[in-house]
Structure 1
Amino acid sequence: MPANTSHHQILIVGAGAAGIATAASLLARDATLDIALIDPADTHYYQPGWTLVGAGVFKPESTARSMASVIPAKARWIKAAVSSFDPVHNRVVLNDGQIIGYEQLVVCPGLKLDWDAIDGLNQSLGSHGVTSNYRHDLAPYTWELTQRLKQGTALFTQPPMPIKCAGAPQKAMYLACDHWRRSARLSQVCTEFHNAAGVLFGVADYVPALMEYVRKYAIDLRFGSRLVAVDGPRQQATFARTLADGSSETTIRAFDMLHVVPPQAAPDFIRQSPLADAAGWIDVDPGTLRHRQFSNVHGLGDASSTSNAKTAAAARKQAPVVANNVLVALKRAPRLAQYDGYGSCPLTVERGKIVLAEFTYGGKLAPSFPRWLLDGRRPTRLAWWLKATALPQLYWNGMLKGREWLARPASTTDAAHNG
């Protein structure tokens, strides 16, 4: 074997929520497995917490831990970036030229936040009232702007789907509006929600409760409105809207605060690889999460082609399915597990209350609790407690440790008929 080549039984690309949870679930099933994770980052983030950082509820440092501290002890961490995949020969090439071979490959690198897709945005972020909870270093600025704004115009944006946590753009807005309401200045702030989509939320059952807050906060909903440019020094945002006849019109809105969610896509090294489908996502079966072309490759998390909501809750359910099915491929487990498309979006409609959206493929409701205890279609304090207190603990001490609390795969099929 050449000096710049190594080999592992299971190779995982990406040490975010999906990658570490999959490694931990595999090792919980079989501690003798040879597993390596590839990720260049020094820090691992609990991204669902950034909404609450932006509302002054969490401290930013509570959402970050060193990568070394969360990688499972029995797994090897390869601190590098992948440049290309060679699934025909069961290997990946790193950006330093090193070649890593594998028996089984799990791909979960997350997605790309395309800040450059909006003209002038990168130069404006973090100043001139331009912020985003989609970056760890900017979420505190969201809270600073929210506190500082006494009167004026606040714009919140949502790009075309798919994006990670489709509810996050409006979560930031509701929490800011709630602060202004509690500070008796809501009537002095004009709030607009520029949503490139045509609906407030993709699962209709949760829309009525959200609309109550839209009315309560007097939010101006602007559907089909897509942010295309930002002029920070002038505090102006340009939006494009497609008209019925197919033509496009642009409008310029002045702002005092602008919360931006950037367009999102699969990372370039995924889109340009043999693993990608026509849209650039990792081309996997939506149930088994096995690659449609390469049987020893699995994909999960935000970069996969599955139609579920791209949330940490989805990765929490996907990781045990992939762990099981990798062991099936290694002939160490008998039956394939199936992922049902579960995703969850705790919609923070005010400080202390959440509409807990839980659903599977096709927008079918999938509540984790009986309705008498917690009706996710209504704002509840119990759902807030889950978001602010229970779920971070579930993440750090459960999901990343291979403890599959509320996440064991339920539906299985005979591997002999799916191989």
Structure 2
Amino acid sequence: MNPHKLDEKLLVCGQITPEDIDQAASAGVRLIINNRPDDEEPGQPLSADLKAKADALGIAYRHIPISGGNFDEASVADFGDALASADGLTLAFCRTGTRATTLWALSQAGSRPTAAILSAANAAGYDLSQLRGRIETASASSPNGPATDRPAARYDVVIVGGGAGGIATAASILKRDSKLSVAIIEPRTEHYYQPGWTMVGAGVFEPKSTCHSMASVMPKGVTWIREAVQSFQPEQDQVTTANGRAIGYRALVVAPGNVLDWDAIDGLAATLGQNGVTSNYRYDTAPYTWELVRNLREGVALFTQPPMPIKCAGAPQKAMYLSCDNWLERGVLNNIDVAFHNAGGVLFGVKDYVPALMSYVERYGIDLNFEST
């Protein structure tokens, strides 16, 4: 099985086997759509057998067979309805993936610009240029007009970003009023609980415990739009995704997170994760923090905090306190010179250092350094 991504919610591929469904389940697929009639060729797995395997793994299954190149409106509508009903990633297949891609393209008419539909199909390896006329006709005849002239969907609240902030905000809103329509726009399929990386760096958590499928953490009642936001149109109360889809809202929450600029420090990107240089701000380097802590018996331990804005102003200090506690417990703290360098004159908005934390600084003998920037 070699699936191609059409958008953040749909994968297409050629004929699959029951064994491929195991792989699909591991990838987070929640719905399988079979667009191939049974008995097209010898040895082809029966739809009933594929459905049985999908059912056993808790994956929804739909059979919408297409033969003779007849993409009737009923089949297109069934395909669109199936996609809309999916609570996560969908895998659609036929002999080569072309029929599945065609059904997807026709089902998107009126909700995405024609150019965006054809471009996505072409990027996946399917040339559907011959469908341009049909898609444009369907789009123009849509009750609400072409996709470029209207939001494809509208919600009470749209949240950009499916990180801890976006997920928690959605859950909090729905807890207060479950009748509100809430959508989260997030292209990633994996959710990382980044506050847990500090615990990974201290040997308390395993890295895998901080990573879950995005579908598994999405609050009940939220519509997950698996795309990336391309632009904002506040005057129209809408955002536009990278696929050209317009999403309308009554209220907008923007929580996409920060992009870390490792290259802002010369040479950091090249040495991070090796040579004794680490960070708890990354999933792949937090385990290296714990490796360094548990193996250090003497020498210098330098902890740094960059200037704001940063993801969490407490993370560098927590890493330091947890490390020092480990060294104290092992009886090697007196052999280690611990220094904390803050690139700024304040910490948590307090000049110099937070008084309540000074007892820890004194307990561990930490050398504090503040540098105004």
TM-score range, shorter chain: 0.5 to 0.7
The separation in 2 between residues aligned to 1:213 and 1:103, in whole angstroms, is 47
Distance in 2 (CA, whole Å) between partners of 1:155 and 1:102 is 47
| CA–CA separation in structure 1 for the residues paired with 2:174 and 2:354 | 40
Residue matched to 1:21: 168
Alignment of 1:142-181 (within 5 A): 142-181=289-328
Bigger Rg over Cα: 2
> Which amino acid in structure 2 is aligned with residue 73 of structure 1?
K
Per the alignment, residue 187 of structure 1 pairs with: 334
Q: How does 1:100-115 map to 2 (within 5 A)?
A: 100-115=247-262
- Cα distance, 1:119 vs structure 2: 1.6
Q: Which has the higher helix share?
A: 2
Q: Is the Cα–Cα contact under 8 Å of residues 346 and 352 in structure 2 kept in the other structure?
A: no
TM-score, structure 1 as length reference = 0.50
Which residue, 31, 43, 50 being the options, matches 2:178? 31
Q: Which residue of 2 aligns with 1:7?
A: 153
Q: Which has the higher contact order (CA 8 A, sep 6+)?
A: 1
Q: Are the counterparts in 1 of residues 352 and 370 from structure 2 also a CA contact under 8 Å?
A: no
Q: Give the aligned partner of residue 197 of structure 1.
A: 344
| TM-aligned CA deviation for residue 16 of structure 1 | 1.8
Q: 1:205: Cα distance to partner?
A: 12
Deviation at residue 76 of structure 1 after TM alignment: 1.4
Q: TM-score, length-normalised on structure 2?
A: 0.56
Question: What is the CA RMSD across the aligned residues, in angstroms?
Answer: 2.3
Distance 1:28 1:186, change over 3 A: closer
Q: Judging changes above 3 Å, is the alpha-carbon distance between structure 1 residues 84 and 210 closer, same or farther for their aligned structure 2 residues?
A: same
1:72 Cα deviation from its structure 2 partner: 2.1
What is the CA-CA distance between 1:165 and the residue it aligns to? 2.4
Determine the C-alpha separation between the residues in 2 that align with 1:200 and 1:13: 29
Residue 43 of structure 1 corresponds to which residue in structure 2? Answer: 190
- 1:81 matched to 2:220? The reply is no
The residue aligned with 1:119 is 266
Give the distance between the partners of 1:157 and 1:29, measured in 2 at CA. 40
* Contact 1:150/1:185 (<8 A) preserved: yes
- Pairs within 5 Å for 1:303-342: none
Per the alignment, in what secondary structure is the counterpart of residue 244 of structure 2? coil
Q: CA deviation at 1:24?
A: 2.2
Q: Percent identity?
A: 61
- Structure 2: how far apart are the matches of 1:199 and 1:35? 38
Q: Write the distance in 2 (CA, Å) between the matches of 1:13 and 1:213.
A: 38
> Within 2, Cα distance between the matches of 1:105 and 1:214?
42
Query: Equivalent residues in 2 for 1:306-385 (5 A)?
Result: none
Give CA deviations for 1:369-392 in whole Å, capped at 9, x if unaligned.
Answer: xxxxxxxxxxxxxxxxxxxxxxxx
Gaps in structure 1 of 5+ consecutive residues: 225-240, 243-419
Alpha-carbon distance between aligned partners in 1 of 2:359 and 2:252, rounded to the nearest angstrom: 46
The answer as to whether partners of 2:345 and 2:352 remain within 8 angstroms in 1 is no
Long gaps (5+) in structure 2: 1-108, 113-146
